[in-house]
Amino acid sequence: MIKLGVNIDHIATLRQARKEEIPSVIEAAKICEEAGADSITAHLREDRRHVQDFDIYGLRKSIKTKLNFEMAANEEIIKIAVDVKPDFACIVPEKRQELTTEGGLDVKSNKKNLADVVARLKKAGIVVSMFIDADVSQVLACSEIGADAVELHTGKYAKFFKENGAISSNFRTELERILNASQTAIQKKLSLNAGHGLDYDNAKQICKISGMNEFNIGFSIVAKAIFTGLATAVKDMKELINKD
């Protein structure tokens, strides 16, 4: 069974639009868990554009499944992670101007620094994942620095699917890259996750990858929830990624 991590950043985006107390991130997480989410993901960005510090501390107390803390390898945020002790930390690159996390982390070029961050988080009892592009050399670098898991960036996969569907050569090439990176992750005994841009149309192709542990999905679930309610949006996705 492929697990489903639901990213609830955009519940916080809506709340921050008015800086009110609704919609509650804590309530949203509870509904997602009751509907079958295996973990809840929240990204505390350096600019605090959506999720706030109090959300992370509140989620840590209320979540009954697993808390996946998405974070940049930044000193302030590392200190918060060590204090909160989420079940998982996913290290991502972060740029102030981007709308969302645009590319994977370059682990290969920053091995020394990232090995130190991984060691600090692991020492706090946190399982550490690296958000990387589907590139075999990046997977190998993650293994070398002692990461527990990789999350393969499916942004390009989703973009190519949207442009020309599953038969386009760009899409097939990207899927092949994801397959190769996945195989390497499994060989290196890294837990294998994927996410970014996955939705109710494009997720089908990628669920067939053997050894896939978890998808992290946010935007498409929250967008669908506006029309169907959050519980239905989560249930439908959980079913879809586990259909034969």
Residues within the interface to ligand PXP (CB under 6 A) = 7, 9, 43, 70, 90, 92, 100-101, 131, 151, 195-198, 216-220
Residue with Cβ nearer ligand PXP (175 or 194): 194
CA distance 158 to 217: 12
Please give the angle made by the CA atoms of 52, 54 and 59, to the nearest 5 degrees.
Answer: 100
50 is catalytic: no
CA distance 154 to 203: 10
Residue with Cβ nearer ligand PXP (41 or 169): 41
Secondary structure of residue 187 in the 3-state scheme = helix
43 is catalytic: yes
Residue with Cβ nearer ligand PXP (97 or 169): 97
Shortest reach from residue 110's CB to ligand PXP, in Å: 17
Catalytic residue, candidates 10, 50, 70, 94: 70
Q: How many CB atoms lie within 10 A of CB 1?
A: 10
Residue with Cβ nearer ligand PXP (101 or 138): 101
Give Cβ neighbours of residue 21 (< 8 Å, ≥ 6 apart).
15
Shortest reach from residue 131's CB to ligand PXP, in Å: 4
Shortest reach from residue 151's CB to ligand PXP, in Å: 5
196 is catalytic: yes
Render 39-75 in DSSP notation, one character per residue: EEEEE--TT-SS--HHHHHHHHHH-SS-EEEEE-S-H
The catalytic site residues sit at 43, 70, 196
